[in-house]
């Protein structure tokens, strides 16, 4: 049994940084259970719920909770998405380490997420643009977004809340999200990488679609250059 919680890697640390101190948090797709154990043992959250669709990951989370003396602080549940969670049990919901489409599907399956006091910390491993499109089109706002470099890979972490304002975002807005406001030193590289991915995806598109994608690529590259310049000036 260990007294002190381990340190989190940059990706999960950014997720933790968006969780409000004192909030009751739930970690959907908790796997190893690092996030709820870390947040409760550090005293950021008084209580946390870790949920996973598979029994194997939940057993790993139980081991982490036992090892770090968090068994009384972290409740573990078998659950498909948010199915085993009730609205009045939680304030901040983390869904990290899954594809953007799966995260959107999990939110879309649960009507009670449309509540303004809840916060969502979302970390898509792929298709962040599809997750942003879902959020904007379903009345959620992106409050903040930050990028991290973890194990040589770039990730984005989003903080979202329901506002009820339904938008019809442009493709540029779906690819950029709130990253234009990001303060992370990794954001220019992240945007440049997204532009490179889009360049690859262009193959096989119609000329009209290809032109739309070219505009997005240009927007991402321009924003990366602006942020890089701002960061250089700030460091002088």
Ligand X SMILES: C[S@@+](CC[C@H](N)C(=O)[O-])C[C@H]1O[C@@H](n2cnc3c(N)ncnc32)[C@H](O)[C@@H]1O
Q: What minimum distance in Å lies between the beta carbon of 33 and ligand X?
A: 9
| DSSP assignment letter at 153 | E
Q: With respect to ligand X, which residue has the nearer C-beta, 13 or 20?
A: 13
- Name every residue whose Cβ is closer than 8 Å to that of residue 227 and which is 6 or more positions away in sequence: 180, 182, 187, 188, 191
Task: Give 233's DSSP letter.
Answer: H
Which of these, 63, 67, 27, 61, lies nearest to 44 by C-alpha position?
Answer: 27
Give residue 6's region: left, alpha or beta (phi > 0; psi -120 to 50): beta
Strands, sheet with 92-98, edge to edge from the N-terminal-most edge strand: 74-78, 48-52, 25-28, 92-98, 119-124, 153-162, 140-150
What minimum distance in Å lies between the beta carbon of 9 and ligand X?
A: 9
Q: Measured from the CB of residue 56, what is the shortest distance to ligand X in angstroms?
A: 8
Nearest CB to ligand X, comparing residues 28 and 142? 28
Which residues, 6+ apart, have CB-to-CB distance to 219 below 8 Å?
A: 172, 175, 176
> Which residue ranges make up the site for ligand X (CB under 6 A)?
12, 28-31, 51-54, 57, 79-81, 96-98, 106
**Nearer Cβ to ligand X (150/228):** 150
Shortest Å distance, C-beta 58 to ligand X:
8
**Which CB atom, from 14 or from 219, has the smaller least distance to ligand X?**
14
Beta carbon nearer to ligand X, 64 or 194:
64
Contact present, 47 and 73 (Cβ < 8 Å):
yes
Alpha helices of 71-170 — where are they, by DSSP H? 100-108, 128-137
Cβ 117 to ligand X shortest distance, Å: 23
Q: Which is nearer to ligand X, 124 or 188 (CB)?
A: 124
As measured in angstroms, the least distance from the Cβ of 3 to ligand X is 23
Nearest distance from C-beta of residue 34 to ligand X, angstroms: 7
Which is closer to ligand X, CB of 52 or CB of 92? 52
Torsion of CA 36, 42, 46, 49, to 10 degrees: 0
Q: What's the rounded Cα separation, in Å, for the pair 205 and 209?
A: 6
Burial class for 92, CB neighbours closer than 10 Å (0-12, 13-18, 19+): buried
């Amino acid at each position: 049994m260990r007294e002190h919680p381990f340190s989190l890697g940059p990706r999960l640390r950014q997720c933790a940084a968006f969780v409000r101190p004192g909030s009751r948090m739930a970690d959907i797709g908790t796997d190893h259970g690092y996030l709820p154990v870390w947040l409760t043992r550090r005293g950021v959250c008084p209580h946390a719920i870790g949920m996973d669709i598979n029994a194997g990951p939940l057993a790993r989370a139980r081991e982490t909770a036992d090892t770090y003396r968090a068994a009384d602080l972290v409740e573990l549940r078998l659950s498909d998405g948010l199915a085993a969670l009730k609205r009045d049990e939680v304030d901040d919901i983390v869904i990290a380490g899954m594809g953007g489409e799966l995260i959107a599907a999990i939110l879309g399956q649960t009507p009670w997420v449309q509540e303004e006091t809840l916060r969502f910390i979302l970390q898509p491993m792929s298709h962040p643009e599809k997750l942003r499109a879902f959020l904007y089109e379903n009345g959620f706002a992106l409050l903040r977004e930050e990028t991290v470099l973890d194990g040589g890979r770039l990730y984005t972490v989003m903080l979202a809340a329901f506002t009820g304002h339904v938008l019809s975002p442009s493709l540029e807005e779906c690819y950029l999200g709130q990253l234009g406001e990001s303060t992370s030193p990794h954001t220019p590289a992240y945007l440049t990488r997204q532009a490179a991915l889009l360049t690859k995806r262009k193959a096989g598109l119609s000329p009209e679609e290809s032109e739309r994608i070219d505009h997005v690529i240009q927007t991402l590259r321009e924003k990366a250059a602006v942020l890089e310049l701002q960061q250089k000036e700030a460091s002088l």
